[in-house]
């Protein structure tokens, strides 16, 4: 078995935990190839997955695991996330649970598929892949932007706000949650539309079928409106450019070695951590 290990050595655990994981995998008979997750600007370093790779192990926080999962989706490879960051919603293990890695070789694990989004910009040939969310928002200046959300040729909603995001159920516990969006079980196939600081008493989040195609059109753009995808990429929108978001044909595949439900993770990572009551 060949395993690609992607690590963020700038987290608290860093090189020590990465070496421990690689040693455990090699002792179990795996061929290990290492890649370092650099920074947001250097995130393409993960793109060259060796052709013989059977699965990916990502060591770091949610950002590292998410990037690895999106890269692996293009090759239909499963990813095991090992949390050495702060929350680790996407992780299948914590850094002190490397004794469970043997289950990779006996295939005693489940694979959880997560919905991904294809994000395109009018006039641009490329497609950006989102696992959490796509955000259209204002730039550094403290002023509102006027945005129209369209689906099937019909206006869905108009917002005057700091911005608007279209999120997956995976992203419902990330930026969308902070903006007041609902928590959605990742097994639900849906898209979430959440305004960011809307100048309205009535603006609320919307939940759409996963098959819905949504287009966000800035009413006007002076070069100070941006698209951000999963917090990794920021693209300046030119006047007249709209952003379209649709379900991707690819899915992210996360390896689960523990019998732990989404609600167990939610309670442990957010409610208990924040001092709340389960």
Q: Which residues are catalytic?
A: 62
**C-alpha distances out from residue 201 to 66, 156, 157, 161, Å:** 34, 17, 14, 12
Provide the sign of the torsion angle of the four alpha carbons 161, 167, 172, 174, taken in this order: negative
Q: CB-hemisphere CA count at 13 Å for 275?
A: 0
Would you say residue 38 has pLDDT above 80?
no
DSSP string spanning 68-108? HHHHHHTTT-EEEEEE-SS--TT-SEETT-GGGGGHHHHT-
Which of 32-41, 150-159, 251-260 is the least confident region? 32-41
Task: Assess contact for 9 and 36: CB atoms under 8 A.
Answer: yes
Task: Assess contact for 6 and 46: CB atoms under 8 A.
Answer: yes
Burial of 256 per CB tally in 10 Å (0-12, 13-18, 19+):
middle
Over range 155-183, report the average pLDDT.
93
What domains are defined for the chain?
A: 2-109+257-272 (3.40.50.10330), 116-249 (2.60.200.30)
pLDDT tens for residues 204-218? Answer: 899 999 999 999 998
pTM of this structure: 0.89
Question: According to the model, what pLDDT value does residue 10 have?
Answer: 66
Question: According to the model, what pLDDT value does residue 16 have?
Answer: 82
Q: Each residue of 32-71: b (16+ CB within 10 Å) or e?
A: bbebbbeeeeebeebeebeeebebbbbbbbbbbbbbbbbb
What is the distance between the alpha carbons of residues 17 and 129, in angstroms, rounded to a whole number?
A: 29
Task: Assess contact for 254 and 78: CB atoms under 8 A.
Answer: yes
Which of 24-28, 131-135, 230-234 is the least confident region? 230-234
What is the distance between the alpha carbons of residues 235 and 126, in angstroms, rounded to a whole number?
A: 12
Tokens of 265: 């993770």
**In the chain, alpha helices (H):** 14-27, 62-73, 103-106, 175-178, 262-266
Q: How confident is the model at residue 9 (pLDDT cuts 50, 70, 90)?
A: low
CA torsion angle 16 30 50 131 (round to 10): -60
207 Cβ contact list (under 8 Å, min separation 6)? 182, 184, 190, 191, 192, 193
Question: According to the model, what pLDDT value does residue 183 have?
Answer: 93
pLDDT tens for residues 55-103? Answer: 999 998 898 899 999 999 999 999 999 988 777 889 999 888 888 999 9
Enumerate the β-bridge partners of residue 228: 135, 234
């Amino acid at each position: 078995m060949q395993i690609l290990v992607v690590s963020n050595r700038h987290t608290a655990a860093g090189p020590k935990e990465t070496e421990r994981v690689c040693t455990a995998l090699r002792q179990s008979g795996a061929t290990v190839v290492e890649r370092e997750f650099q920074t947001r600007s250097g995130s393409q370093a993960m793109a060259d997955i060796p052709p013989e790779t059977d699965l990916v192990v990502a060591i770091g926080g949610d950002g590292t695991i998410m990037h690895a999962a999106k890269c692996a989706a293009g090759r239909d490879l499963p990813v095991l996330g090992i949390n050495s960051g702060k929350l680790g919603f996407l992780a299948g293990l914590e850094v002190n649970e490397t004794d469970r890695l043997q289950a990779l070789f006996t295939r005693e694990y489940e694979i959880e598929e997560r919905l991904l989004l294809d994000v395109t910009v009018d006039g641009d040939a490329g497609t950006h892949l989102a696992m959490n969310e796509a955000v259209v928002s204002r730039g550094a200046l403290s002023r509102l932007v006027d945005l129209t959300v369209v689906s099937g040729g019909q206006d869905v909603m108009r917002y005057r706000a700091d911005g608007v995001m279209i999120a997956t159920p995976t992203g419902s516990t990330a930026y969308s949650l902070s903006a007041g969006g609902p928590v959605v079980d990742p097994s639900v196939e849906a898209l979430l539309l959440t305004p960011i600081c809307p100048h309205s008493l009535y603006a609320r989040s919307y939940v759409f079928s996963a098959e819905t195609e949504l287009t966000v059109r800035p009413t006007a753009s002076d070069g100070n409106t941006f698209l951000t995808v999963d917090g990794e990429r920021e693209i300046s929108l030119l006047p007249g450019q709209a952003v379209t978001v649709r379900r991707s044909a690819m899915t992210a595949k996360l390896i689960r070695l523990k019998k732990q439900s989404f609600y167990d993770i939610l309670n442990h990572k957010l409610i208990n951590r924040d001092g709340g009551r389960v």
